[in-house]
Chain A
Amino acid sequence: DTEVTQTPKHLVMGMTNKKSLKCEQHMGHRAMYWYKQKAKKPPELMFVYSYEKLSINESVPSRFSPECPNSSLLNLHLHALQPEDSALYLCASSQKSPGQVYGYTFGSGTRLTVV
């Protein structure tokens, strides 16, 4: 299995809703990432998990809450989002060992629309 699987593929949510995005990989990768991509822009890093611990938070608003329950699974919990948070949310993973990081594998993304 050489894929990163993201669910759902599409999500429409109201500003008062709570929803979660899910990301799963079975490649044994120990680093996992959330990216946000607005239309016609490059992806922007949100969070990095390394060995199931949050290692980087790129000053993301608290209405986005990441979680890494185990080495294969990464969630992004969403609450009280704004319409400007509408974007494609991408999950990625990479192999990581002490002092070494390898290429990234991306999922197909969740298209989020906040109404």
Chain B
Amino acid sequence: KQEVTQIPAALSVPEGENLVLNCSFTDSAIYNLQWFRQDPGKGLTSLLLIQSSQREQTSGRLNASLDKSSGRSTLYIAASQPGDSATYLCAPQGSNDYKLSFGAGTTVTVRA
């Protein structure tokens, strides 16, 4: 069974700082990996999807890297803003069953 760990569990930074969110997973047989954002009581918003053959993916201030062989992904958020405050979830997708496995998330607070 895929186990996903996200570190840190929570992060509080002043506005403008760069954020680094880490994700590790135990089974490297993944099809792709998605990063999601979740605001309190809301659904999941997809931020980035990295195919297993890719090393990184970028969208605006967001950049995600993937090292499939070592079971690691990192989400970088540049120049953080208060609107970035949310929980960020890492979800590798299994290549055998295509299921998403979720980490417990990193809750980010960006202080104005």
Residues of A that sit less than 8 Å from B by CB:
6, 31, 41-43, 45, 48, 56, 88, 90, 92, 96, 101-109, 111
Cβ of A106 and Cβ of B31 under 8 Å apart?
no
Cβ of B104 and Cβ of A45 under 8 Å apart?
no
Given contacts A42-B104, A43-B102, contact A103 B34 (CB under 8 A): yes
The answer to whether B19 has its CB under 8 Å from any CB of chain A is: no
Q: Give chain A nearest CB distance to B7 CB in angstroms.
A: 15
Interface size on B, residues (CB 8 A): 22
A92 surroundings in chain B (CB, below 8 A): 44
Residues of B that sit less than 8 Å from A by CB:
31-32, 34, 36, 41-46, 49, 89, 91, 93, 97-100, 102-105
Q: Main SS of the interface on chain A?
A: strand
Bound CA span A106–B89, Å: 13
Q: Which of B31, B42, B103 contacts A42 (CB 8 A)?
A: B103
Cβ of A106 and Cβ of B43 under 8 Å apart?
yes
